[in-house]
Amino acid sequence: MNNIGLFVVLCLWVAYGQESCDRKEMEDTICSLCSQRKESQSGHQIAFFSYMSKNIPIKSITKHKTLVYDMVETNAGHGYDVNSGKFTAPESGLYVFHTTTTSYDRSHSSIEVVKNGKVKDVAWADSMSHDDRAVASTMTILNLTKGDIVQIRVGEAYAGNYLESNQYTRMSFSGFKLS
């Protein structure tokens, strides 16, 4: 007899013996058993977190150049490729992606979150008119089909000194499968 069968029998027994089986408790138990089954069926997770090991001089970037986040802290499911900077969806589903970009001392750059070559989100770190930093972030929820590619690239606008990633701030690219 499986767990749910056992629980139903238990409920009936409780229902006869006492007044009724608590509906909420029964739902909680079934929900918990279902989620355990889901986890053990897929058996793995998809999540990555990568960041830049050093500052990016503006003179080293060009329009639409892919930003390659070279330090990989987490790469469950192996979707992120540290050589190309591209994330390839290991399976279909809803995904959440996040980026942070910092411009330093009279610098600016827009960045684009791109899926299969199409721009899905844009942010602009812009400290062009002043010294010190400007930080821009994105959080982008995308419905991906297995094999779809998501990457971060330089956008339309950039100039100045450099984008910053060091002991004070990190430029990062991360994501995970939501469902």
Ligand X SMILES: *[C@@H]1O[C@H](CO)[C@@H](O)[C@H](O)[C@H]1NC(C)=O
Q: Are 158 and 125 in contact (CB under 8 A)?
A: no
Q: 3-state SS string over 54-100?
A: CCEEHHHCCCCCECCCCEEEEEECCCEECCCCEEECCCCEEEEEEEE
Q: 56 or 142, CB closer to ligand X?
A: 142
Q: 74 or 143, CB closer to ligand X?
A: 143
Q: 6 or 141, CB closer to ligand X?
A: 141
Q: How far apart are CA 7 and CA 20, in angstroms?
A: 14
Shortest spacing between CB 143 and ligand X, in angstroms? 4
Q: 9 or 94, CB closer to ligand X?
A: 94
Tokens of 62: 């060009």
Closest C-alpha among 145, 149, 155 to residue 112:
155
Residue 156 CB: number of other CB atoms within 10 A? Answer: 12
Shortest spacing between CB 91 and ligand X, in angstroms? 12
What 3-state DSSP class applies to 127? coil
The contact pattern for ligand X, residues 113-152, with x = CB under 6 A and - = no contact, is ------------------------------x---------
Site size for ligand X (CB under 6 A) = 2
Shortest spacing between CB 9 and ligand X, in angstroms? 38
Shortest spacing between CB 140 and ligand X, in angstroms? 14
Residues that bind ligand X (CB under 6 A): 94, 143
